[in-house]
Structure 1
Amino acid sequence: MTEALRHASFAEFYPFYLSEHNNRTCRRMHFVGSSLSLLCLAITGKPQYLLYGLLCGYGCAWIGHFVFEKNKPASFKRPLYSFMGDWVMYRDMWRGRVSF
């Protein structure tokens, strides 16, 4: 069983999630992708902006993993926990708990 699948709760998963984001540029790519996603969601009137938000968020994050972190995104193994982890890490970056 892979490490990503061993966690019974999100609280157990989150430290693993952070360990998959040691590269500063990868974390920054996540931050940019999440910020662009929020911007896309804030634009109203056109449903395709939801799709654009997902493309921005996952596109930036996956580039960060494949190009800079050189690992596979945890979203391939634990999609819900990884989605949650991205937003918790985003919040923690804003609060200064995770370095930007």
Structure 2
Amino acid sequence: MSERIATYAEFWPFYLREHSKPVTRWLHFVGTSLGLGIATVAVRSGRGALIPAALVCAYGLAWVGHFGIEKNRPATFKYPLWSFLSDFRMLGLMAVGQLGPHLERAQAGASLPPAPAASKAV
């Protein structure tokens, strides 16, 4: 029987190692973004029937990455809250080009290239 991770500080590097391949991280990014978009439309339009589509987008694309690419079991099965929070943390860091150092510290495989520097006005 495997031991449970006791703290979020220990979980975060584990989470990143479970997302070691860039394609998996991008599937999470796209799936969660689409899921949030669909959920927003569902709430704003009062069309609750769209919520399952939001979940299928978010979880479906993420699970393709885990089962098909990483060949691992999604952490959300064992650590649902920490995984949920970490998805948004990872996506936020990806969006601002700051995930690389976290991946390196976690020894999580291929790093993301740095975000392009903004050009300076002369």
TM-score (norm 1): 0.87
Which has more helix, going by share of residues? 1
May I ask how many residue pairs the two structures share in their alignment? 98
Deviation track 1:13-68 (CA, whole Å, cap 9, x = no partner) reads 11110111011111111011111011112202201222221111110000011111
Is structure 2 residue 41 aligned with structure 1 residue 40? no
Instruction: Report the Cα offset of residue 79 of structure 1.
Output: 1.1
Which amino acid is 2:15 matched to?
Answer: Y
Matches within 5 A, 1:59-70: 59-70=60-71
Larger Rg: 2
Question: Match for residue 2 of structure 2?
Answer: 2
Deviation track 1:61-84 (CA, whole Å, cap 9, x = no partner) reads 000111111111111111111111
Runs ≥4 residues deviating over 6 A: none
Greater shift, 89-98 or 43-52, is seen at 43-52
Which amino acid is 1:47 matched to?
Answer: G
User: Percent of counterpart pairs with the same letter?
Assistant: 46
TM-score (norm 2): 0.73
Following the alignment from structure 2 to structure 1, what is the Cα–Cα distance between the partners of residues 28 and 12?
15
